[in-house]
Amino acid sequence: MKIVVIGASGTIGKAVVENLQDRHEVIKVGKSSGDYQVDIADESSIQALFEKVGEFDALVSATGDLAFAALGEMTSEQWDVGLRSKLMGQINLVRHGLKYIRDQGSFTLTSGILSVDPIAWGAAATTVNGALEHFAVAAAIEAPRGVRINVVSPTVLTESWDKYGSFFPGETPVDAAKVAKAFQKSIEGAQTGKVIYLRG
């Protein structure tokens, strides 16, 4: 299969590429690195990416920016970061990607634990992750030509624990390699309209 991995240089993206590259043709995409570049917050950039990549069998999105701040202090600009990037950016990857994905192909998006387990300063992240999961469940009903849409929702990564662990008291982190297995399940399996939750 020809698989497009967006966010291929990130911790999850690297693990996904490593898991898939021996069995599939993997196209690595980043904001400033990889085989191609894209800014998912820019719809015209997404359109340009697909024009260059052409037809593909599966797309992984392991990217999306979010802002964190106290609810009473978060600005409209900070809210827009997650809404334009992690939410609408990934939705637009599906919307525009439907024109290029082959029959029986799959989209796998990334949300996160905050959709169901909020933290302080994380209202925007919880809102965006929850909305993305509901989008995938609903969009899978309408996806044409046997195309599947799923979301992987990991907890904080082991590799990022030193940086973010203090925001998740009592949480058990999960290895990026385990998260990559969930993407494999979505791509190579048969499920659609599912949120694959990964907890430590």
197 bridge partner residues? 153
The per-residue pLDDT for 164 is 85
Q: Tell me the per-residue pLDDT of 65-107, one tens digit each, with 9 for 90 and over.
A: 999 999 999 999 999 999 999 999 999 999 999 999 999 999 9
Q: What is the pTM of this model?
A: 0.96
User: Using alpha carbons only, how large is the chain's radius of gyration in Å?
Assistant: 16
User: H helices then E strands: how many in the chain?
Assistant: 7, 7
Q: Is 138 exposed, middle or buried (0-12, 13-18, 19+ CB in 10 A)?
A: exposed
Task: Kindly list the averaged pLDDT for each block of 10 residues, start to end, along the chain of length 200.
Answer: 98 98 98 97 98 98 96 97 98 98 98 94 97 98 98 95 88 95 98 93
